[in-house]
Amino acid sequence: MEPILLIVSTWWWIAPAAAGAGAATYAGLTTRVRRARRLELDAARHEESLAYRALVAAKARVRTAQADVMTSKSQPAHRAYDARRELQVAKQAEKTASLELRASRSRVKAGYSQYRASSAHDPLPIERLYAAHDAVNARWLAYETDVDKALAHPQMTDSRHPATVVFLRAQREALAKRPTLRDRVTPEQYVEYRLAVQDLTAAFDEAERQAGVPGAARAASPGATAAAGISAAAVAIADLADRLPALIARMPLPRNQEPPAGRVP
């Protein structure tokens, strides 16, 4: 009995230590998986933070431009024009930053909803990005391995063509920013890799369009068209506001009104 008690009193700490190590390992694995699954949400929050900082900087630029406009009133005309032009550009940049912040907040809401709706069987965000990257590479390899496609569209395999050069550079950039450990990707790395994959897809689509591949033309998205229209309208309104005092000054003065009936002028 005494040897058993001696062994128990000597090695009693092994069981709690093993249980603690197992719990820590399980918690670490669970945390990494959960972090990898909410990576897109964390990336959207990171973009929201960057957009907020950009808006603060744009507002500061507007205040500086307004001060320069007030100062330029006592300076030559060309400096006053430059100051007003800078104020116009600063206001447009502030409006763009405000729209980008609203868009980033919408992406945060969408990412949160997607994270809550995802299950353990759904692919991770980084895996979906891997798949999009591999799909573009597979489309490009088809021109390298299919003789008929290579002969029909030789431009796609010609590294001297400008559109193909742009695609090859985008391909190299996306490969350089592709993370190797899927469960240790930071939101910053995910955002950079996602932008690289988007640039790669756009470059490949443009290369196919210039090569005359059937069905390769991509129409401009309605969002981009609307944003361009808003920007053009904002610039036109700002330019009109700058020229409005001069237009008013050139307007003819109103004629004297006729005196009331029965009154001698």
Does 6 reside within a domain?
no
**3-state secondary structure at position 262:** coil
Does 166 reside within a domain?
yes
Residues 41, 101, single domain; the answer is yes
Residues 99, 164, single domain; the answer is no
Each residue of 148-162: pLDDT tens digit?
A: 888 888 999 888 899
Whole-angstrom Cα distance, residue 72 to residue 77?
8
Q: What is the pLDDT of residue 241?
A: 47
Range of the domain at 62: 26-119
Q: What is the pLDDT of residue 178?
A: 94
In the chain, the number of structural domains is 2
Token look-up 């003819």 returns 252
Does 93 reside within a domain?
yes
3-state SS string for 96-125: HHHHHHHHHHHHHHHHHHHHHHCCCCCCCH
Whole-angstrom Cα distance, residue 155 to residue 81?
48
Residues 141, 185, single domain; the answer is yes
Residues 87, 130, single domain; the answer is no
Q: What is the pLDDT of residue 1?
A: 57
Does 47 reside within a domain?
yes
Q: What is the pLDDT of residue 264?
A: 46
Contact 41, 112 (CB under 8 A): yes
Distance of alpha carbon 26 from the chain centroid? 35
Domain closes at, from 119, 140, 171 = 119
Report residues of the chain scoring pLDDT below 70: 1-31, 217-265
Residues 130, 55, single domain; the answer is no
Residues 104, 178, single domain; the answer is no
Residues 62, 143, single domain; the answer is no
Residues 200, 141, single domain; the answer is yes
**3-state secondary structure at position 91:** helix
Does 3 reside within a domain?
no
Does 82 reside within a domain?
yes
Q: What is the pLDDT of residue 76?
A: 84
Whole-angstrom Cα distance, residue 166 to residue 164?
5
Does 251 reside within a domain?
no
Does 259 reside within a domain?
no
Residues 135, 178, single domain; the answer is yes
Q: What is the pLDDT of residue 235?
A: 40
Residues 90, 143, single domain; the answer is no
In order of 11, 56, 80, 163, 251, the CA distances from 86 in angstroms are 77, 17, 10, 35, 27
In order of 18, 30, 254, 257, the CA distances from 260 in angstroms are 107, 91, 17, 9
Whole-angstrom Cα distance, residue 220 to residue 227?
11
